């Protein structure tokens, strides 16, 4: 299976599949494909099988169902475009080396990957639209392609090192990194109301990838262009 990431601000991930090869994605991520690609909806991915695996994936911010795209009768092409300005990049997932990613971070990957809920906490609607703060846990084995918003800044934290991050900027981190939501008191925050600012504490060892474009900033930038009835 060959892949190419093209474009800059809104990149596109394109797979060239040999006959019989399969790539996995969520049901709404397809952008275009050749006519010899067969699509199969499934609740089973990697180690997450059946209904309960699908429920765990939905709690992690994904859908109940995933789609397998398989080349039939010859070489085939299938493409997935980014949904927000940002970056698409490849990560290798292996047993004992998983990742936690923001709820819409998984774009596509090997059918041997498994996606479930990693972290779910209720935070202010001003940042996450009332859905709370959710991270997906990506495990299994194979290549995974991740979409993050804006520019990406990575840090490798040593044991004992930590970093305080606005939750919206948390893009992805290795599952060896300890994670918790903490409150900084004494800071007035108009997004949450009252006194206090929510920050994510990430502690090593492990690597974290931060995204410069947060959901709240994107929503704020688009708000003036929405019809009056859709503004909040």
Query: In this predicted model, what pLDDT tens digit does every residue of 141-167 receive, in sequence order?
Result: 999 999 999 999 999 999 999 999 998
Confidence of residue 175 (pLDDT cuts 50, 70, 90): very high
pTM of the model: 0.82
| Token output for 226 | 């929405």
- The C-alpha angle with vertex 6 and arms to 172 and 151, in degrees rounded to 5, equals 35
Give kind and range of the element (H or E) at residue 219.
Answer: helix 215-222
Give SS3 for 36: coil
CA angle at residue 99 from 25 to 219, to 5 degrees? 65
pLDDT on residue 187: 58
pLDDT digits (tens, 9 = 90+) for 20-74: 999 999 878 999 999 999 999 887 555 444 444 445 545 544 555 789 999 999 9
What separation in angstroms does the CA of 73 have from each of 2, 12, 34, 76, 195?
17, 25, 12, 9, 62
- What pLDDT, on the 0 to 100 scale, is given for residue 194? 44
Residue 104 has a pLDDT of: 84
Supply the DSSP string of 8-35, one letter for each residue: SSS-EEEEEEPTT-EEEEETT---EE-T
Structural domains of the chain, with CATH: 2-224 (3.60.160.10)
| Mean pLDDT score of the chain | 83
Which of 171, 69, 165, 162 has the alpha carbon at shortest distance from 111? 69
Q: pLDDT tens digit string along 115-133?
A: 887 775 555 444 444 445 7
The Cα 26–Cα 144 span in angstroms is 13
């Amino acid at each position: 299976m060959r892949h190419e990431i093209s474009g800059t601000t809104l990149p596109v991930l394109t797979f060239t599949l040999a006959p019989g090869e399969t790539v996995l994605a969520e049901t709404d991520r397809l952008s275009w494909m050749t006519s010899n690609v067969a699509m199969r909806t499934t609740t089973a991915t990697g180690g997450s099988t059946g209904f309960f695996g699908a429920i765990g994936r939905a709690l992690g911010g994904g859908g109940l169902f995933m789609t397998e795209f398989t080349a039939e009768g010859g070489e085939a092409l299938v493409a997935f475009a980014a949904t927000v300005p940002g970056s698409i990049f490849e990560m290798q997932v292996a047993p004992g080396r998983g990742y936690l990613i923001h709820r819409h971070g998984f774009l596509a990957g090997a059918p041997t990957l498994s996606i479930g809920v990693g972290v779910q906490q209720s935070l202010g609607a001003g940042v996450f639209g009332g859905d709370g703060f959710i991270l997906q846990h990506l495990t299994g084995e194979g290549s995974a392609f991740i979409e993050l918003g804006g520019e990406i800044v990575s840090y490798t934290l040593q044991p004992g090192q930590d970093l305080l991050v606005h939750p919206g900027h948390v893009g992805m981190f290795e599952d060896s990194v300890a994670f918790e939501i903490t409150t900084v008191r004494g800071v007035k925050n108009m997004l949450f109301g009252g006194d206090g600012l929510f920050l994510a504490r990430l502690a090593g060892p492990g690597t974290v990838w931060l995204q410069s474009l947060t959901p709240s900033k994107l929503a704020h930038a688009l708000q003036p262009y929405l019809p009056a009835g859709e503004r909040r």
